Amino acid sequence: MTTTTEQAREPDILCHGLVRIFSTEGVEVQALQGLDLRVERGDVVAIVGASGSGKSTLLSILSGLDRPTGGSAVVAGTDIGAMSRADRVRYQRHTVGFVWQQTSRNLLPYLTAAENIAVPLVLSGAKARTERVEELLGLLGIEHCRDRRPEQMSGGEQQRTAIAVALANSPRVLLADEPTGELDDATSAEVLEALRGASERLGVTVLIVTHDPTVSEHVRRTVQIRDGRTSTEVLRRTERDDSGAEVHVAEEFAVLDRTGRLQLPEDFVSALDLRERVRLALETDHVGVWPDGAGRTASDPAGATGAGGSSGAGGDAEQARTGRAAGDAERAGTVGATGDPDALRSAGATSAAGGSTAASAARPRRRDLRGEGNDD
């Protein structure tokens, strides 16, 4: 029997080995290739990636608009792949809220803001509708738009009204597809703060899919998708330095899946000109990765190192220490970690997406963002 405490610990979004294959005219396109993702309850997470990386496909599955070809996706305790048609309606009406990029898709043009917010409440037969509408208008800071139709609102007001509509039936999870795609920077910041505020006030979990680099400034965790898999994560926190000044720190981690595969960050691959295959070495506190033929010879498998260190490209031991864990190399920089799993875990691996592990070197890449723009 599942206790209340155990339920509270369960993540709101949990994907294991998620696969989605599209077939058209005999050609198969694998949009998701075994994606793992874990989002804790009440968290605000941004999903980023290039066009075609699988972001929108993931969101379509999580929203119940599509079904995975393989793997599993569980949202707020609901197994997406096992839903019937009736289950899907209930799920989309009560469990998840959705905000589209195009404002015209979020609101009915002939209804006022208050009437748009009331629509999902009417459809679900909710009581105290007027009180709920007023609460959401105040929460999103759009009380002045109560009696305005969408054409009478600015783009930011329309999106905040759309967020209110999505929150009307108190969903556990709010999904947003490029919510700032049609807005300027200042208005985008207002909408993102509205999403974060809604999460803090209502306890709703928020997942934002975006190309907008400024989104990272408003979330604690950013997950990058590449080639249909989660590849890296950036975790942010605030610290105080020796002088007491507030410092914003961002650390990037590679995501290690359950089979031991990870994707090296693209700038690492480019900087060391890694291609096709790489050399590996399991050290006492990290895994070294070298370009094929660089820094190692068959007669000297350990390579020339400094005291207790390992040589990297060009003999730079420090660069080797800060390399990411690796294994069987693939052309895109995707590698599988090898060696003793316990030794790898002791090298600083931490829990990450969908039961996978966010593996970093002994000293993960760390960025001091004080006084600088965010570049993630």
What is residue 8's predicted lDDT score, i.e. its pLDDT? 55
What is residue 334's predicted lDDT score, i.e. its pLDDT? 41
Percentage of residues in the chain with pLDDT exceeding 70?
76
Indicate if the pLDDT at residue 132 is higher than 60.
yes
| Residue ranges of domains in the chain | 9-226, 229-368
Positive or negative: CA dihedral 279, 285, 286, 288: negative
For 250-309, the pLDDT digits (tens) are 888 888 887 888 888 888 889 988 888 888 888 899 888 888 875 444 444 444 443 333
The total of other beta-carbon atoms located within 10 Å of residue 199's CB is: 17
Helix (H), strand (E), coil (C) string for 336-370: ECCCCHHHHHCCCCEECHHHCEEECCCCCEEEECC
What is residue 7's predicted lDDT score, i.e. its pLDDT? 52
Output the furthest CA–CA distance in the chain (Å, rounded): 79
pLDDT-derived band at 326 (thresholds 50, 70, 90) equals very low
Indicate if the pLDDT at residue 345 is higher than 60.
no
Mean pLDDT of the chain: 78
Query: What does the block give as tokens for 65?
Result: 């608009």
Indicate if the pLDDT at residue 152 is higher than 80.
yes
**32, 208 contact by CB (below 8 A):** no
**251, 303 contact by CB (below 8 A):** no
From residue 158, alpha-carbon distances to 11, 107, 177, 193 in Å are 30, 8, 15, 15
- The CATH number that domain 9-226 falls under is 3.40.50.300
The total of other beta-carbon atoms located within 10 Å of residue 111's CB is: 14
Helices (H), the chain: 4-9, 55-62, 85-90, 103-106, 113-124, 129-139, 155-167, 185-202, 266-271, 317-321, 341-345
pLDDT (average), residues 206-234 = 87
Indicate if the pLDDT at residue 116 is higher than 60.
yes
For 62-105, the pLDDT digits (tens) are 999 999 999 999 999 999 999 999 999 999 999 999 998 887 78
CA separation for the pair 62, 153 (Å, rounded):
30
Q: pTM of the predicted model, to two decimals?
A: 0.73
Degrees to nearest 5, angle at CA 102 with 99 and 104:
100
For 170-202, the pLDDT digits (tens) are 999 999 998 888 888 888 888 999 999 999 999
